[in-house]
Chain A
Amino acid sequence: MGLNDLTIHELAGRLAKKEIAAADLARDVVARTEAMEPKLHAFLEWNGGELLTAARDMDERRARGEVLGPLAGIPVGIKDVLNVQGHSCRCGSKILQGYVAPYDATVVAKLRAAGVIPFGRLNMDEFAMGSSTENSAFGVTHNPWDLERIPGGSSGGSAAAVAAAEVPAALGSDTGGSIRQPASLCGVVGMKPTYGRVSRFGLVAFASSLDQIGPFAKDVTDAALVLGAISGRDPNDSTSVPEPVPDYTKALTGDVKGLKLGLPKEYFIPGMDKEVDAAVRAAVDKLVSLGAEIIEISLPHSDYGLAVYYIIATAEASANLARFDGVRYGSRAKDAKDPLDMYGRTRGAGFGPEVTRRIILGTYVLSSGYYDAYYLRAQKVRTLIRRDFMEAFQKCDAILTPTTPSAAFKIGEKAEDPLTMYLSDIFTVNVNLAGICGVSVPCGFTKQPKLPIGLQVLGKPFGEATILKVAHAYEQATEWHKEKPKI
């Protein structure tokens, strides 16, 4: 076992006491990454030498007695959608070939301030559009539990890297489930914070009103630590909220006695995978045995979430991705005769099929004559979906659902059928539409093959502490998080 197998809360204490050096941890991380990458392809890019240099520098500063951040010397993997100064940031797309980020995303700057060493560029579906990482222009990432299967997406690289212990933690982004779904399929903890909890500055936008950045971690305590480090109001992001950031680890008491947990009947549907259903129901029972109270709730507009999502997300994306035009950065078609020709061919060659489909769909729903029927109507149904949750939270402290309707599917299985692929997000999209928070925590495995299953815990706006408390209590009462994939 290497240092890379330990959690951040184990590592941080030992680093602070100088029992281990950041350089030792970095070496183990690099060794593990070197060993795993030929099989997983979780990273698009990583630089072991750079990590070692940064780690040694951290050790020297510690030796000099400098006051370091609470996560000093911990490497954290960064999804390719976040700007890290001086590094590429291609968002899994050919169109950003050659782009070098001139600035750090706020979350990256905040992690650095906490002492974290950002490490590598993690694979993803192109521009975060997808549920499998098959839409990456640079090849699919493999699920550490079964290399023939997808790791989920769009933050598949982040989930796989943490599941395979290449890095202690990683950052991902979640627009419709892109953190929680891969976390569930790879058997790690993944958290989507409340909209506005974490600054989006430096996150290459997919759907601005839905995107949030969040952590992937080996356990809930680590997720709480990373979340605490990246949260807070940012003057560079108007939509970040000036809500105080508590010490989320303080909520991790293991005590859920008297907490009211809602079970929405719309999330336990016929046709759902039987093993997933059973695992989630068992998890509910476990929480009851810990003293939580279960109440039946209804989120009546849940079924419309996916349709609303595919209108709003694609509409916003069609504008957000207009900037990739070959003028200021990235790739450009050769020998264009005029700007129009340059745009068409640059974008035609630069975007993959899923991104192209979604841009066209988004263009359609906003176009003259269709706006009211699609976009405006979707925004109104979004109001109803949010209202459903707000009413439910009058009755309960958190909501429990499966994270995904089934475990990881095989690479290529759904690639040609976009709509079926979209259905893997059916339990996660409503959370983004409502702007609330959610965390996925491992809650069992399918039998044959052995694939992870996730329990999703949802909370009210800025209710991160509560859902982390529930997830943590459950995690500590079970052994799932201790199971590691054998690769």
Chain B
Amino acid sequence: MDYEICIGLETHVQVKTRTKVFCACPTEFGAEPNTNVCPVCLGYPGSLPVINEVAIRKTVLAGMLVGAKIAHHSKFDRKNYFYPDMPKNYQISQYDLPLVIGGTVEYDFGVVDKKRLGETKVCRLTRIHLEEDVGKNFHFERTSGVDFNRAGTPLMEIVSEPDLSSSDEAFAYLTALKEILIYGGISDCDMEKGQVRCDVNISVRPRGQKELGQKVEIKNMNTFSGVRHAVDYEAQRQIETLNRGGRLVQETRRWDDMAGVTESMRTKEHAHDYRYFPEPDLLPVSLNEAWLAEVRKLVPELPSAKRKRMVGRYGIPPYDAGVLAADAALADYFEAAAQASKNPKSVVNWVTNDLLRDLAEAKLAIGQSPVKPPHIAELVELVDSGKISSKIAKDVFVEMFKTGRAPAAIVAEKGLVQVSDTGAIGKFCDEVIAANPKIVADFKAGKEAALNALTGQVMKLSKGKANPQAVRDALRGKLSG
């Protein structure tokens, strides 16, 4: 039978704040265990939570970026369950009145296949709510140890509708979501620091059936490729089970990345009874228009809009615009250079080819680039005005990246200015003509290609500084003269 896969994602993203969501402990990563803790985030008797306004603001901003409805009335609830990394044995979360309702994320298949760039789909969101993270467990031979530094870090949970129908779509959705969140300064989405974690809800149904199939939840994946593999495995497992005539049960499964399989954790009968109820220590959130207007000012241009605008304004190829738009800082860099130049098309080549390659090699972010945007514009101008050749420009760029100096200064210091002076070029030509009678004869016999060989010789003699067009013109003049 032909099956259709339905995937919904619950994505937990660390909200970028200086302090935890309910106390003033820093959210710094990698500190000594249990140094960023206080009575509140350790669940000490008598301590009380107080909401970090920036965590609320960024969650609302995320809602605005995905075109969602911001709740007029929202509240926090307690979700009760015991676990050693959970300081109060309840998590402050949001149950029936989340901050953000609905919204959509548009994703582009270009991230799974370059050829499909521009082919997009939309995934609906159910909600976004704010909650606190738990601590971190370390396992030893006979005991476990808990570090509560992470406990109380703000997390946004972004719940999607089951609109995704393949692992590729799940991957493209997550990539688009990440792009939006980084764009808005909402989260750094640093996967290596565990800032994005996913639960996947997946079911299969015969194609054409309306109702969803039996849902299975896969818990706690912290890489996008993990999600991709888990979805592929689990969808296949469900389809095979059904094809064998088996039945699927509502359950929670765990993805074993090493073994590449999902395995059952608990079935519905053993599902948690979380006993949600309104958090009495926190008062409701009721955001008025003035407050929302302040947040709206922070809404940046989204990648897809930015891509379209850059193609129109700078005349650059859509693919390059896509590369730039995917990273707000990179796009800003390009625009700064492009606006200082008469030739944005050339600027985009320098940025997406040379600069990105060298940055990747040096493991530097665009913000750390030794080459500044005006220098790119200057370099393009040096080439376009004929002051240096494209070949020399490559060498100049290497030097710019190494030293951070302006290209004109490098060119001047190293005497790299292109020689266009006909006197000097004429001397080089005479030398080459004298030394290559055979090639000269070929040219005179009508072999146009021979001119290239002679030009190459002249360029070599001039150490690349001669203007190739001027050389050709001079040679042609002398040989036909």
Interface size on A, residues (CB 8 A): 44
Q: Decide: B275 and A83 in contact? CB cutoff 8 A.
A: no
- In the bound assembly, the distance between CA atoms of A426 and B146 in angstroms comes to 44
Q: Decide: A238 and B48 in contact? CB cutoff 8 A.
A: yes
Q: Decide: B46 and A319 in contact? CB cutoff 8 A.
A: no
Residues of A within 8 A of B84 (CB): 325, 327, 339
Answer whether A238 and B50 are a contact pair too, CB < 8 Å, given A315-B277, A323-B88, A327-B146: yes
Q: Of the listed stretches A8-16, A115-123, A154-162, A198-206, name the one at the interface; the rest are far from the partner chain.
A: A198-206
| CB nearest to A200 among chain B residues | B48
The answer to the question of B39 belonging to the interface, with a C-beta cut-off of 8 Å to chain A, is yes
Q: Of the listed stretches B62-70, B279-287, B364-372, name the one at the interface; the rest are far from the partner chain.
A: B279-287
The answer to the question of B49 belonging to the interface, with a C-beta cut-off of 8 Å to chain A, is yes
Q: Decide: B275 and A201 in contact? CB cutoff 8 A.
A: no
Q: Decide: A323 and B78 in contact? CB cutoff 8 A.
A: no
Residues of B within 8 A of A99 (CB): 45
Answer whether A201 and B44 are a contact pair too, CB < 8 Å, given A238-B283, A366-B275: no
* Selected contact of B46 from candidates A205, A328, A366, CB within 8 Å: A205
How would residues 74 to 86 of chain B score, 1 for a CB under 8 Å from any chain A CB and 0 otherwise? Answer: 0000101011100
Q: Decide: A204 and B45 in contact? CB cutoff 8 A.
A: yes
- In the bound assembly, the distance between CA atoms of A235 and B338 in angstroms comes to 49
Residues of B within 8 A of A238 (CB): 48-51, 281-283
Answer whether A239 and B283 are a contact pair too, CB < 8 Å, given A82-B46, A201-B46, A204-B46: yes
* Selected contact of A322 from candidates B46, B47, B88, B273, CB within 8 Å: B88
The answer to the question of B333 belonging to the interface, with a C-beta cut-off of 8 Å to chain A, is no
Q: Decide: B281 and A208 in contact? CB cutoff 8 A.
A: yes
Answer whether A235 and B43 are a contact pair too, CB < 8 Å, given A319-B277, A322-B82, A328-B87: no
Residues of B within 8 A of A343 (CB): 82
In this complex, the member of B46, B49, B51, B276 whose beta carbon has the largest number of chain A beta carbons within 10 angstroms is: B46
| CB nearest to B85 among chain A residues | A327
Chain B 426-448 interface residues, beta-carbon cutoff 8 Å to A: none
Q: Decide: B45 and A91 in contact? CB cutoff 8 A.
A: yes
- In the bound assembly, the distance between CA atoms of A235 and B53 in angstroms comes to 13
How would residues 295 to 329 of chain A score, 1 for a CB under 8 Å from any chain B CB and 0 otherwise? Answer: 00000000000000000000110110011110111
How would residues 439 to 475 of chain A score, 1 for a CB under 8 Å from any chain B CB and 0 otherwise? Answer: 0000000000000000000000000000000000000
The answer to the question of B390 belonging to the interface, with a C-beta cut-off of 8 Å to chain A, is no
Q: Decide: A319 and B146 in contact? CB cutoff 8 A.
A: no
The answer to the question of B155 belonging to the interface, with a C-beta cut-off of 8 Å to chain A, is no
- In the bound assembly, the distance between CA atoms of A209 and B83 in angstroms comes to 25
Chain A nearest CB from B461 CB (Å) reads 78
How would residues 56 to 89 of chain A score, 1 for a CB under 8 Å from any chain B CB and 0 otherwise? Answer: 0000000000000000000000000011000001
Residues of A within 8 A of B83 (CB): 339
The answer to the question of B321 belonging to the interface, with a C-beta cut-off of 8 Å to chain A, is no
Q: Of the listed stretches A18-26, A176-184, A280-288, A367-375, name the one at the interface; the rest are far from the partner chain.
A: A367-375
* Selected contact of B47 from candidates A201, A319, A371, CB within 8 Å: A201
- In the bound assembly, the distance between CA atoms of A103 and B47 in angstroms comes to 10
* Selected contact of A236 from candidates B50, B80, B89, B283, CB within 8 Å: B50
Residues of B within 8 A of A325 (CB): 82, 84, 89
The answer to the question of A406 belonging to the interface, with a C-beta cut-off of 8 Å to chain B, is no
Residues of B within 8 A of A209 (CB): 280
Residues of B within 8 A of A348 (CB): none
Q: How large is the interface on B (under 10, 10 to 19, 20 to 34, 35 or more residues)?
A: 20 to 34
Chain B 25-77 interface residues, beta-carbon cutoff 8 Å to A: 39, 42-51
The answer to the question of A105 belonging to the interface, with a C-beta cut-off of 8 Å to chain B, is yes
Q: Decide: B46 and A102 in contact? CB cutoff 8 A.
A: no
| CB nearest to B49 among chain A residues | A238
- In the bound assembly, the distance between CA atoms of A89 and B45 in angstroms comes to 9
| CB nearest to A324 among chain B residues | B45
Residues of A within 8 A of B146 (CB): 327
Q: Decide: A105 and B80 in contact? CB cutoff 8 A.
A: no
Q: Decide: B275 and A102 in contact? CB cutoff 8 A.
A: no
The answer to the question of A96 belonging to the interface, with a C-beta cut-off of 8 Å to chain B, is yes
| CB nearest to A375 among chain B residues | B277
Residues of B within 8 A of A105 (CB): 46
How would residues 95 to 132 of chain A score, 1 for a CB under 8 Å from any chain B CB and 0 otherwise? Answer: 01001011101000000000000000000000000000
Q: Decide: A366 and B45 in contact? CB cutoff 8 A.
A: no
Q: Decide: B50 and A319 in contact? CB cutoff 8 A.
A: no
Chain A nearest CB from B465 CB (Å) reads 70
The answer to the question of B90 belonging to the interface, with a C-beta cut-off of 8 Å to chain A, is yes
Q: Decide: B45 and A322 in contact? CB cutoff 8 A.
A: no
- In the bound assembly, the distance between CA atoms of A363 and B275 in angstroms comes to 8
How would residues 193 to 222 of chain A score, 1 for a CB under 8 Å from any chain B CB and 0 otherwise? Answer: 000000011111101110000000000000
Q: Decide: B273 and A367 in contact? CB cutoff 8 A.
A: yes
The answer to the question of A237 belonging to the interface, with a C-beta cut-off of 8 Å to chain B, is yes
Q: Decide: A366 and B80 in contact? CB cutoff 8 A.
A: yes
Chain A nearest CB from B279 CB (Å) reads 8
Q: Decide: A323 and B89 in contact? CB cutoff 8 A.
A: yes
Residues of A within 8 A of B273 (CB): 367-368
| CB nearest to A237 among chain B residues | B48
| CB nearest to A208 among chain B residues | B280
Residues of A within 8 A of B281 (CB): 205, 208, 238-239
- In the bound assembly, the distance between CA atoms of A322 and B283 in angstroms comes to 21
Chain B nearest CB from A425 CB (Å) reads 19
Residues of A within 8 A of B51 (CB): 238
Chain A nearest CB from B14 CB (Å) reads 23
- In the bound assembly, the distance between CA atoms of A315 and B89 in angstroms comes to 14
- In the bound assembly, the distance between CA atoms of A129 and B41 in angstroms comes to 26
- In the bound assembly, the distance between CA atoms of A395 and B360 in angstroms comes to 76
- In the bound assembly, the distance between CA atoms of A99 and B146 in angstroms comes to 19
* Selected contact of A83 from candidates B45, B90, B144, CB within 8 Å: B45
Q: Decide: A323 and B46 in contact? CB cutoff 8 A.
A: no
Residues of B within 8 A of A322 (CB): 80, 82, 88-90
Chain A nearest CB from B53 CB (Å) reads 12
Chain A nearest CB from B398 CB (Å) reads 56
Residues of A within 8 A of B78 (CB): 319
Chain B nearest CB from A233 CB (Å) reads 12
How would residues 260 to 275 of chain B score, 1 for a CB under 8 Å from any chain A CB and 0 otherwise? Answer: 0000000000000101
Q: Decide: A328 and B42 in contact? CB cutoff 8 A.
A: yes
- In the bound assembly, the distance between CA atoms of A329 and B148 in angstroms comes to 14
Answer whether A367 and B275 are a contact pair too, CB < 8 Å, given A238-B50, A323-B87, A323-B89: yes
Answer whether A319 and B80 are a contact pair too, CB < 8 Å, given A239-B281, A375-B277: yes
Chain B nearest CB from A385 CB (Å) reads 17
Q: Decide: A202 and B46 in contact? CB cutoff 8 A.
A: yes
Q: Decide: A83 and B46 in contact? CB cutoff 8 A.
A: yes
- In the bound assembly, the distance between CA atoms of A315 and B90 in angstroms comes to 13
| CB nearest to A196 among chain B residues | B283
| CB nearest to B50 among chain A residues | A238
Chain B 130-161 interface residues, beta-carbon cutoff 8 Å to A: 144, 146
* Selected contact of B39 from candidates A103, A327, A371, CB within 8 Å: A103
In this complex, the member of A200, A237, A323 whose beta carbon has the largest number of chain B beta carbons within 10 angstroms is: A323
Chain A nearest CB from B412 CB (Å) reads 61
Chain B nearest CB from A331 CB (Å) reads 13
| CB nearest to B271 among chain A residues | A368
Q: Decide: B50 and A235 in contact? CB cutoff 8 A.
A: yes
- In the bound assembly, the distance between CA atoms of A214 and B46 in angstroms comes to 16
Chain A nearest CB from B355 CB (Å) reads 48
Q: Decide: B275 and A329 in contact? CB cutoff 8 A.
A: no
Residues of A within 8 A of B43 (CB): 323, 328
- In the bound assembly, the distance between CA atoms of A340 and B281 in angstroms comes to 27
- Contacts A319-B89, A366-B275 given; 20 further ones with Cβ under 8 A? A82-B46, A89-B45, A102-B39, A201-B46, A203-B46, A204-B45, A204-B46, A208-B280, A208-B281, A237-B50, A319-B90, A323-B44, A323-B88, A325-B84, A339-B83, A339-B84, A366-B276, A367-B273, A368-B273, A371-B277
CB-CB nearest 7 A-B residue pairs:
A322-B89, A208-B280, A366-B275, A209-B280, A204-B45, A202-B46, A323-B43
Q: List 21 A-B contacts (CB under 8 A).
A: A83-B45, A91-B45, A102-B44, A103-B39, A201-B46, A203-B46, A205-B45, A205-B281, A235-B50, A236-B50, A238-B48, A316-B280, A322-B88, A322-B89, A322-B90, A323-B44, A323-B45, A328-B43, A339-B144, A366-B277, A367-B275
